[in-house]
Amino acid sequence: MEAQALQHERRMKAAQGDKEALEHAIAAAELYMKAASAAKTAEDRRRLGRKCKELIELGERLKARTKGTTPDAVAQRSVPESARPLTTAEKTIILKASRLHGHVFPPWDSAPTPEIFLDTDGTPYADPAPFSLSAEQKAMVAGWLRPTELMSVAGEPDEVLEQLMTAQAELDLAQDLATDCSVVASLCAAARHFGPTKDSLLAPLMYPFDHKAMQPQLSKSGKYVFRMYFNGSWRRVTIDDRLPASKTDRTLYAVDRRNPRLIWPALVEKAYLKIRGGYDFPGSNSGTDLHALTGWIPEQIFLQSDEIELDETWNRIKAAYDERNAILTLGTGNILPEEEKALGLVREHDYAVMDLKEEEGARLLLVKNPWIDSLVWTGVGSSATLKAHTAGSPKEGTSNQFWMAFEDVLQHFDSLYVNWNPALFSHRQDHHFRWEMPDKTEELVFTHNPQYTVLATSRKPIWILLSRHWQDGELDILRQRRAEKDHGEDTGGGGGHDSSLATVSKQLGFMSLAIYATSPPGTRVPLPDMSRRLHHHPLVDSPNILLRYQPTPGVAQTLVVTQSELPLPTYTFTLSFFSHEPLTVAPAPPPLPHSLSVRGAWTRRTAGGSPAHPTYYTNPQYSLTLPQPSPVTLVLSTSTHDLPVHIALAFPPRTPSCSSSPSSPPSPQQRITSLSGRDILAASPEYQHGGTAASAPRLDAGTYNVILSTFEPGQLGDYTLRVSAAVPPRLEPIPADAAGMLRTPVPVGTQPIPPGTLTSSSSTTRFLAPVALTRQTRLSAIAATSPTPTSSPSASFSLPGTHPSIRLSLSLGRPGPHATILATAPRSGDFVDLAAPTTNAGSALFKGVPPAAGLRTGETDVHPDLARAGGLWVVLEMRGGGRLESGGGGDGGVGPQGVAVEVLSDGLVKIGGWEVEEGG
């Protein structure tokens, strides 16, 4: 199938027209799709899937052309706007997001009328907003001057307009003292879309504007209004025309080297810097800047990613660039100083892409450094064979521009920023939301994450853009980080190393998007689950991220917004959905409508470890009560991200009582002290780091126990447990193990050691210790290997190379046919091999294997009269090889070597020493 697809690709390239090419593109895409489904390896599936996706996108472009839609017409067609009505909460978010850095930027309602730009009283407009400057910039500023003063322009209005607003030659914008390389690189890259054409992006951006000449108009009042997209809305940004004058020949604003008196680029720059905090701009990336200036969809392509597909990436951006549907910029990473000089590239710096072409088998980008006088690519180590006059050399008549092979771009740049024309889509839907950052214990689960259900009617691509709204707190963090970074550095020579978001924005945290398949479809996802994740975008430190994917038509899927290390307590965001067909998008409902959360901690007393340890039952336990039958989901998360955690949901223990019926109903808030596989109703997978979940499809009305554990004893951390059900659940903590109870060890007995040894696996030795009571008492018994639950001397049983199994019980009457067993461990009554503790506590509901390194019976109530009548005994039974030896309690004393037994009671008890029955 792949060979057939390649043949169709070759025919597509040789086709005589778009219609014929479209037919071969569709055929090739279908064959690649079938080949991907049949592929045996994941790598082949990904490779073939990328080819299929590439051909589908190419087919969409060919289809547009076959309908008479030329590339220019594609760029000119109407940009989709979200027609979805906003809720009251969303309107409030948009209005509150208008305030930024002490200014108000109201949502755009309509274009300003020409009257506001007239100089009616002879007093030029003065913007009261201050523009902040860095210490170095302040030292250079001579004052704020109007353009006619700054440029020494005089003459008739038309002559002034001609000099200040009309470019006589191709734009050649440059950055000097301002630390805004991303802004100037953005203006350079978008220059071909700012020209005097009917689809100029400058026309809807800047007012006043001459729509006949298709160029900015000079404001007589000195007032300029800009329409920029940020914080979830098109907004009005108003400035005056004063620019910072320099004491030297350096400038603090963007200049056009071919048109030195042209001021509109400096005014666009000033308006954008107003919304970003001032001329001491702490950093951004050009994709974010262009999104604000043009509204075009920003995408960041990580060039150092192992998953990048060279051919697919080039073909995608080349086709869109040629059709005027993409603006391209580049960003470098932290290049070493010696590499800067050798390569001619600047570290942590943004560049504009001015052109793309293919020449003699080489794929080339014309790259521009926006600095007014700086390094250019030297071509050292070029990975493509290029002509000498092309590779690494500037375009004739331009400065700071150089051709660079695409392979070299991949090697030396960190990011390719692509801003896509939103007119590529016919539908758009915006959703705005507020997100209070979760408690540290819930960072790794999705309990409080914004989630949306997305339902598509076709497989046509969907693009989802997540935009974090700017706020003052972020600017404070950026400035502090920038001050720390630049401390002691020389910021002269072209503005110094201009910090992009590659450096400073890591202080602002990371965001991501993911699409999940859920059951029921479109419901909320409790925590990350790779098996259900369909598409995702990795965590990035940019305020904008774009997820592109193909949906499953007719099946609702869940979009999850995630974050890491966002430093502020509250944020607002906008999600924009771009599609070719109408979408159904709404907040994702929970699969179960009723939820509650509790917080707790594993402490030195309660961190008992997994069921492989005798201290397992000291872990935090909760009593879960359901008033009616219901499915249940439990989500456990912790503030310690590398802490392995687990959930077990089990039947509660029963409390036999010799003062009433021998089998009373479950007692609320009673701790589980032993488990068998039959007791466990649901469990999370093997111990998972940071968070985990367990679910039961149906539980009867009643009370259940929940045990939360870490993998090893002594692993400490805070946690949050969230329980969801179809009916309102009740969740109550169960007091700590033996809280308020006395611990009494069984002492060494004085009975002489019986002769003989235990050699047969069927041989059983029974140890008995009498218990005396003075009042009705609730009690249970614990048997543990090492460490023992008490430091008191205790009799013991040696294990010389063979492994006994044990069983522990409380018996009313000496063991025999007339005795009543009040409590036993394990509940099943089976013997447990001491040498084989379970280590698979998270698998298949413990696989029915009870904990083996220690046992504890359930609690039972015993009246002293009944205890005196039949006698109350602690019984420890051992089966297997071994020999009896004296313990640590004195000469002739005897007990189970290596096993210590205690009695927990709510009243004073007296326990006699061990007696031994061999062959029991």
pLDDT digits (tens, 9 = 90+) for 271-299: 999 999 898 877 789 999 999 999 999 99
Using CA of residue 197, residue 199, residue 200, residue 202, what is the dihedral sign? positive
**pLDDT band (50, 70, 90) for residue 661:** very low
782 and 912 co-located in one domain: yes
Is residue 748 pLDDT above 90, yes or no? no
289: its two tokens: 């800047």
683 and 752 in a single domain? The answer is no
**pLDDT score for 470:** 96
Give the pLDDT of residue 221.
93
Residues across the chain = 920
Tokens linked to 347: 């570290």
Give the pLDDT mean for 793-807: 53
Average pLDDT over residues 606-623: 88
Name the amino acid, one letter, at 386. Answer: L
Could you say which of 251, 275, 294 is where a domain stops? Answer: 294
pLDDT at 72: 37
Domain endpoint, select from 265, 294, 323: 294
Listed residue (577, 747, 741) closest to 673, CA to CA: 741
- The active-site residue, picked from 8, 24, 52, 181, is 181
Mean pLDDT of 166-187: 86
User: What is the chain's mean pLDDT, rounded?
Assistant: 83
By CB neighbour count within 10 A (0-12 exposed, 13-18 middle, 19+ buried), where does 887 fall?
buried
pLDDT of residue 399: 66
**pLDDT bucket at 50, cuts 50 / 70 / 90:** confident
| Residue 83 covered by a domain | no
Q: Does 376 lie in the same domain as 430?
A: no
For residue 181, indicate whether it is catalytic.
Answer: yes
pLDDT at 394 over 90: no
Q: Is residue 689 part of a domain?
A: yes
215-246 residues labelled b (16+ CB within 10 A) or e (exposed): bbbbbebbbbbbbbbbbbbebbbbbbbbbbbb
- Which of these, 143, 156, 272, lies nearest to 218 by C-alpha position? 156
Residue 788: band (very low, low, confident or very high) from pLDDT cuts 50, 70, 90: very low
Do residues 440 and 349 share a domain? no
Whole-number pLDDT of residue 17: 66
Q: How many helices (H) and strands (E) does the chain have?
A: 16, 48
- Read out DSSP for 637-648? EESSTT-EEEEE
- Residue 86 in any domain: the answer is no
Determine the average pLDDT of the residues in 119-125. Answer: 84
Is it true that the peptide bond before 520 is cis, omega within 30 degrees of 0?
yes
Strands (E), 651-701: 680-683, 688-689, 691-699
Count Cα neighbours of 206 within 13 Å in the Cβ-side half-sphere.
26
Of the residues 231, 259, 369, 705, only one is catalytic, namely: 369
What's the pLDDT at 497? 45
pLDDT number for residue 723:
98
Q: Give the pLDDT of residue 811.
A: 93
Q: In this predicted structure, what is the pLDDT of residue 95?
A: 97
Tokens representing 672 are 């589980």
Residues 799 and 897 in one domain: yes
Could you tell me the pLDDT band of residue 654, with boundaries at 50, 70 and 90? Answer: low
**Count of domains observed in the chain:** 6
Percent of the chain residues topping a pLDDT of 90: 49
Establish if 87 belongs to a structural domain: no
Question: Is 749 or 415 the better-scoring residue by pLDDT?
Answer: 415
Q: Is the pTM of this model over 0.95?
A: no
Q: Which pLDDT score is estimated for 883?
A: 46
Q: Which of 290, 300, 116, 328 is nearest to 205 (CA)?
A: 290
Q: 780 and 810 in contact (C-beta within 8 Å)?
A: yes
Residue 543 has, within 13 A of its CA and on its CB side, a CA count of 30
- In Å, what is the CA distance from 140 to each residue of 148, 484, 554, 722? 20, 22, 62, 58
For 88, 96, 643, 784, 789, the CA distances from 334, given in Å and listed in that order, are 45, 37, 33, 57, 57
Catalytic annotation, pick one of 24, 291, 349, 412:
349
The pLDDT confidence band at residue 839, using thresholds 50, 70 and 90, is: very low
**In the predicted structure, residue 312 carries a pLDDT above the cut 80:** yes
With cut-offs at 50, 70 and 90, classify the pLDDT of residue 176. Answer: confident
What pLDDT score does 506 carry?
60
pLDDT band with cut points at 50, 70 and 90 for residue 801: very low
**Co-location of 303 and 290 in the same domain:** no
What's the whole-number mean pLDDT along residues 557-562? 98
pLDDT tier for residue 371 given thresholds of 50, 70 and 90:
confident
pLDDT tens digit string along 845-899? 555 444 445 677 888 889 888 888 779 999 998 886 544 444 444 444 556 667 7
How far, rounded to the nearest angstrom, does the alpha carbon of residue 701 sit from its chain's CA centroid? 36
Q: Which helix (H) or strand (E) segment is 426 a member of? A: none
Q: Output the pLDDT for position 3.
A: 82
Residue 92 lies in a domain: no
What does the pLDDT look like over 688-730, one tens digit per residue? Answer: 999 999 999 999 999 999 999 999 999 999 999 999 999 999 9
**Residue 826 pLDDT exceeds 60:** yes
The span from the CA of 300 to the CA of 286, in Å, is 10
Closest by Cα among 781, 785, 782, 783 to 798: 785
List, edge to edge, every strand of the sheet that includes 401-405: 297-302, 415-420, 326-331, 350-359, 362-368, 401-405
What does the alpha-carbon distance between residue 650 and residue 185 come to, in Å, rounded to a whole number? 62
Higher per-residue pLDDT: 468 or 499: 468
Q: What pLDDT, in 10s, does the model give residues 324-349?
A: 999 999 999 988 888 888 888 888 89
Element (H, E) at 575: strand 570-579
State whether 117 and 246 are in the same domain: yes
Mean pLDDT, range 188-209, rounded to an integer? 93
Among 75, 95, 372, 64, which residue's Cα sits nearest to residue 235? Answer: 95
Cα separations (Å) of 572 from 81, 409, 849, 856?
20, 35, 49, 52
Do 25 and 62 fall within a single domain? yes
**CA dihedral of residues 498, 501, 507, 508 (deg, nearest 10):** 140
Give me the pLDDT at residue 782, please. Answer: 84
Last residue of a domain, one of 684, 715, 733: 733
Q: CA 608, CA 787: separation in Å to the nearest integer?
A: 12
Residue 127: pLDDT over 70: yes
Give the strand pairing for 909-911 and 680-683: unpaired
Does 77 reside within a domain? no
Tell me, what's the pLDDT at 415?
95
- Burial zone of 209 (CB within 10 Å; 0-12 exposed, 13-18 middle, 19+ buried): buried
Of the pLDDT bands very low, low, confident and very high (cuts 50, 70, 90), residue 53 is confident
Q: Helix axis angle, 286-294 relative to 264-276, nearest 10°? A: 110
Asked, for residue 76, whether it belongs to a domain, the answer is no
Structure tokens at 816: 């025999």
- Token reading at 107: 């949502």
User: Is the pLDDT assigned to residue 667 strictly greater than 60?
Assistant: no
Q: Is the peptide bond before 826 cis (omega within 30 degrees of 0)?
A: yes
Nearest to 846 by CA among 624, 649, 623: 649
CA gap 275, 470 in Å, rounded: 9
Lowest mean pLDDT of 143-147, 265-269, 388-392, 536-540, name the range: 388-392
Q: Which pLDDT belongs to residue 795?
A: 41
The range of the structural domain enclosing residue 860 comes to: 742-918
Distance CA 762, CA 742 (A): 36
Per the annotation, the verdict on 369 as an active-site residue is yes
Share of the chain above pLDDT 70, in %: 81
CATH number of the domain encompassing residue 630: 2.60.120.380
What is the pLDDT, as a whole number, of residue 157?
Answer: 65
User: 111 or 71: whose pLDDT is higher?
Assistant: 111
Task: Note whether 420 and 430 are same-domain residues.
Answer: no
Same domain, 703 and 644: yes
- Assess whether pLDDT exceeds 80 at residue 223: yes
Upper half-sphere CA count for residue 154 (Cβ side, 13 Å): 1
Maximum pairwise Cα distance, the chain: 125
pLDDT in tens, 620-648: 999 999 999 999 999 999 999 899 999 99
Q: Is residue 658 annotated as part of the catalytic site, yes or no?
A: no
pLDDT tens, position by position, 437-495: 999 999 999 999 999 999 999 999 999 999 999 999 998 888 777 666 655 444 433 44
How far apart, in Å, are the Cα atoms of 656 and each of 108, 405, 434, 774, 812? 74, 81, 53, 19, 11
> What's the confidence (pLDDT) of residue 817?
85
Pick from 129, 435, 78, 96: nearest CA to 233: 96
| Token output for 77 | 């067609």
- Amino acid (1-letter code) at residue 363: R
Higher pLDDT pick, 468 / 373 = 468
Establish if 94 belongs to a structural domain. Answer: no
Q: 392 phi and psi, to 5 degrees?
A: 70, 5
The whole-number pLDDT of residue 494 equals 40
> Is the domain of 629 the same as that of 724?
yes
Domain shared by 203 and 166, yes or no: yes
- For residues 550 and 53, the answer to whether their CB atoms sit within 8 Å is yes
CATH of the domain at 316: 3.90.70.10
Distance (Å) of CA 114 to CA 32, 208, 211, 224, 836: 57, 7, 13, 11, 87
Q: Give me 502's structure tokens.
A: 């590659």
